[in-house]
Each structure stands twice: as structure tokens, then as C-alpha cells.
Amino acid sequence: MGGKGAIALGVLAGVLAGSVALLALVLALPSGSLPASSSPSPAVGASASPLPSGSKAAVASPSVSATASPGGASPSASASASDDGFDPAALFGIGKPAPALALPLADGSGTVDLASLRGRPVWVNFMATWCPSCVDELPIMSGFAARYASAGLVVVAVDVKEDPATAAAFTRRLGVTFPVAVDADGSTITAWGALALPVHFWVDASGIIRDGAVGQVGPDLMADALSRILPGVTVTP
């Protein structure tokens, strides 16, 4: 064999030896020592579609609530702010004075004015007849309204952007006994920042929002929220 052939064989042998050594090194590495690719997990939060101009409000589900203790204490959100910046306490205006609410009643019997109810705890619910969650919630709310009327509780439902006769017939069919007002042009729901249905606000006797929830809520959450505006009263679902 000539000199060039010997050199070629030597190079080939060296490459093979290096490949074997590299393979042995990889096999000897402990499991998990190689870096693994990862993708960030999405932030978890509740979302509600905004109310487009001229359209119905969106139905929001599941529910998200934020609470604040009476007496001006800092609110503690039952759904804390997520990485995407969602802050339920800010969403409901917890700890701040409730916006104005003065609307005609659906049955034509008069008006409801939140300012005239100062000194009494008020539960405000924005709803509509086409909202499935509202069908489930309103009878439960009627039960709470009856049980805690003696504690001064006032429950007010506000039907959004519907005909008064439609709202009156709907709530009458469900046996609703508390006042039902109509926000015909949607200006009140806009002022309250309530751009999805259903949405609840619990306002204490001094006119401060102490709790809020968007999306369908059940008796347990309702009772917990009511306890924040009915100090000294044991509220049960």
C-alpha cells in the first residue's frame, strides 16, 4: 500500500474512533441532563366579550368575583389579578361609591333611585330576558330578598336595552318580587362598567360597592357577598 493509502486509512480510523467516543459520552449522560424546550403556560383568567355598539351585551361565564370588607378595608379579590393584567377588584369598583342609578320600573309603577336608598344595603343586578343565567338566578335572588328584607336589604334588577313590557312579563313569569327597572338606552350599564350579562354589584348602606360578580353565580357566592353589606347578619344560602 502506498503512502497516500496509509494516510487515508489513518484518517478514517480516527473519525470512526471519535464517533464511537462521542456516542459513548452521550449514552453515559444522566437522564434529564439535556435541556428541554418549554413554552409558557397561558395566564388563567375570566373574560367577557365587550358590548359592541348597537348590540346586546355578552353573557359572561364562569363567574368572577371580587370582595371588600365593610369599613373601607382594602379589597381582597376572590379571583386575584392574573398575569394578563385582569384585576376583578378594579373591574367592579370595589371600595368606591356606586355610580348613579335612576331608572323607570318595568311595570310602569314608578322609578327606582339608588340615591334615595342610601342608608340601606342594595343588591344591583344587570340582566336581560334572553340571558339563560338570569333565568336561573332571579328566582334565587327573590328568595334572598324576602328572607333579608327585615334586615333592610333592597334587591334591584335592571333589564338592559329591552322593552319594559317584555321585561315585566319575563320577571312576572319567574315570580320576581323585587323592583325591576329598565335601562332602555344602556347608559346606566355603561356608567357602571357592566358590559357583560349577568353582572352583580353589592352596595352597602353608605353607598360603597363592597362586592361584585360577573357571570352566573349560585346561592353560596350570593350569600357570601350579601354578608359584606349586611354586617351582623348571618346570611345563609
The residues, ordered by sequence, that sit 6+ positions from 183 with a Cβ below 8 Å of its Cβ are: 103, 126, 158, 159, 160, 161, 189
The answer to whether residues 34 and 71 touch, using CB atoms and an 8 Å cutoff, is no
Which of 99, 69, 50 has its CA nearest to residue 214? 50
Q: Cell digits for 86? A: 385582569
Which domains are delineated in the chain? Answer: 58-227 (3.40.30.10)
| Alpha helices (H) along the chain | 3-28, 88-92, 132-147, 164-173, 187-191, 219-227
- Measured on CA atoms in the order 172, 152, 118, 220, is the torsion positive or negative? negative
Which of 64, 63, 232 has its CA nearest to residue 148? 232
Q: How far apart are CA 226 and CA 204, in angstroms?
A: 9
pLDDT at position 66 is 58
Which of 167, 157, 103 has its CA nearest to residue 129? 167
Beta-strand runs (E) in 70-148: 102-104, 111-113, 122-127
pLDDT at position 91 is 86
Query: Could you tell me the pTM of the whole model?
Result: 0.69
Give mean pLDDT in consecutive 10-residue pieces for the chain, a chain of 237 residues: 45 45 42 38 32 39 51 39 61 94 97 97 98 96 97 98 97 96 95 90 98 94 97 96
pLDDT at position 88 is 67
